[in-house]
């Protein structure tokens, strides 16, 4: 089933310079157009108390304090403010943060839970991409992998989306996948099975990465020991500011890092791509999987992420989405 992901774009202007941001809200995380719009109304009041983009840290702190949750709406403001910051300093964000733009990796290309014909088409669509991301968690998991393996030997990462409910079954699947050129397994078990996940990670010879179990900085401590690493997405972390802190903490804990995205346009993904050189893996194919990209920005050359050299997050609206 194809689900629709609501998005809200933000534009924050200061002295004729505008920064752009995006909130992408997959329905399972509970945010909607209505909740985001209501939250952004409150943000406007906070922003009116500041006059310099150099106060970005304090501004974001105040916005986070408005109310709990609203992570994607908060991310849209964080992204727009960082875009504005870079534009005021006339430098791409990665440059302001001393991140080496040449160190980006290959993005994965997603194959959702699909039948044989759909998989064949997806493999063709993914011709330029070096790593496949395969969504598992259905009764046909082994069948899907076998179909893929009959067509290509490209490395895969596997995202189970909490879909396996039994640790012994998960253990057996991971052992099987480890012989199929698999690089990592994301969120094999439900969030509440943290002890079982720790048991699994201990025995697994593949890295086990937390997605739904790790949204914000505070969640890293809970996942440490139970997972080998975390998948950081701006829509979960409330944006770039906290994502950077998560990378720092994960490094201290020697946890692996994946930079991911939701179903996002080139606006949100160009923001996330600024951090891609700091990650072990990048799962930033959002703009490749949507038909209505409203922004320019991130590019992929033979599957490798190429950061925009424009100031800020390096994005510009293609059409006037803010009419």
Please report the sign of the dihedral spanned by the C-alpha atoms of residue 25, residue 261, residue 316, residue 78. Answer: positive
The nearer residue to Mg ion, 64 or 211, going by C-beta atoms, is: 211
Residue nearest to Mg ion (CB): 211
- Closest approach of Mg ion to the CB of residue 293, in Å: 21
- Closest approach of Mg ion to the CB of residue 75, in Å: 17
- Closest approach of Mg ion to the CB of residue 265, in Å: 19
The nearer residue to Mg ion, 112 or 155, going by C-beta atoms, is: 112
The nearer residue to Mg ion, 112 or 317, going by C-beta atoms, is: 112
Rounded to the nearest 5 degrees, what angle is found at the Cα of 93, between the Cα atoms of 241 and 261?
60
C-alpha to C-alpha distance for 174 and 180, rounded to whole angstroms: 10
Beta bridge partners of 282: 107, 259
- Closest approach of Mg ion to the CB of residue 254, in Å: 22
What value does the CA radius of gyration of the chain take, rounded to a whole number of Å? 19
Run of H or E residues at 230: strand 229-233
Binding site for Mg ion (CB under 5 A): 159, 186, 211
**Which among 180, 177, 179 has a CA at the least distance from the CA of 160?**
177
C-alpha count within 13 angstroms, C-beta hemisphere, residue 83: 33
The nearer residue to Mg ion, 87 or 233, going by C-beta atoms, is: 233
- Closest approach of Mg ion to the CB of residue 98, in Å: 29
C-alpha to C-alpha distance for 295 and 310, rounded to whole angstroms: 13
The nearer residue to Mg ion, 136 or 278, going by C-beta atoms, is: 136
Pairing of β 304-306 and β 299-301? antiparallel
Beta bridge partners of 296: 316
- Closest approach of Mg ion to the CB of residue 91, in Å: 32
3-state secondary structure of 150: helix
C-alpha to C-alpha distance for 240 and 320, rounded to whole angstroms: 25
The nearer residue to Mg ion, 22 or 159, going by C-beta atoms, is: 159
Tokens of 238: 């409330």
- Closest approach of Mg ion to the CB of residue 209, in Å: 8
The nearer residue to Mg ion, 120 or 161, going by C-beta atoms, is: 161
The nearer residue to Mg ion, 159 or 196, going by C-beta atoms, is: 159
Residue 118 contacts residue 138 (beta carbons within 8 Å): no
C-alpha to C-alpha distance for 77 and 39, rounded to whole angstroms: 10
Residue 286 contacts residue 107 (beta carbons within 8 Å): no
- Closest approach of Mg ion to the CB of residue 161, in Å: 6
């Amino acid at each position: 089933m194809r689900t629709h992901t609501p998005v809200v774009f933000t534009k924050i202007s200061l002295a004729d310079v505008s920064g752009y941001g995006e909130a992408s809200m997959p329905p399972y995380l509970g945010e909607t157009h209505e909740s985001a719009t209501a939250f952004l109304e409150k943000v406007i009041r906070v922003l009116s108390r500041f006059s310099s983009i150099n106060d970005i840290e304090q501004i974001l702190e105040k916005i986070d304090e408005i109310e709990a949750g609203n992570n994607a709406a908060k991310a849209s403001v964080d992204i727009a403010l960082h875009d504005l910051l870079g534009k005021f300093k006339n430098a791409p964000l990665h440059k302001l943060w001393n991140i080496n733009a040449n160190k980006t990796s290959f993005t994965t290309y997603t194959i959702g839970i699909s039948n044989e014909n759909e998989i064949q088409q997806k493999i063709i669509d993914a011709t330029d991409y070096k790593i496949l991301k395969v969504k598992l968690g259905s009764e046909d998991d082994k069948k899907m992998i076998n179909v893929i393996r009959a067509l290509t030997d490209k490395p895969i990462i596997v995202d189970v989306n909490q879909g396996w409910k039994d640790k012994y079954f998960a253990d057996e699947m991971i052992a099987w996948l480890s012989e199929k050129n698999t690089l990592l397994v994301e969120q094999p078990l439900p969030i509440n099975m943290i002890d079982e996940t720790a048991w699994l990670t201990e025995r697994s010879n593949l890295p086990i990465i937390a997605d739904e179990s790790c949204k914000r900085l505070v969640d890293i401590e809970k996942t440490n020991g139970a997972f080998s690493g975390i998948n950081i997405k701006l829509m979960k972390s409330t944006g770039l500011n906290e994502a950077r802190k998560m990378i720092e903490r994960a490094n201290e804990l020697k946890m692996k890092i994946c930079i991911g995205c939701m179903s996002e346009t080139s606006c949100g993904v160009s923001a996330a791509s600024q951090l891609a050189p700091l990650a072990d893996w990048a799962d930033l194919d959002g703009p490749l999987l949507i038909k209505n990209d409203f922004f320019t920005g991130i590019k992929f050359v033979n599957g490798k992420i190429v950061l925009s050299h424009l100031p800020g997050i390096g994005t510009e609206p293609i059409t006037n989405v803010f009419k």
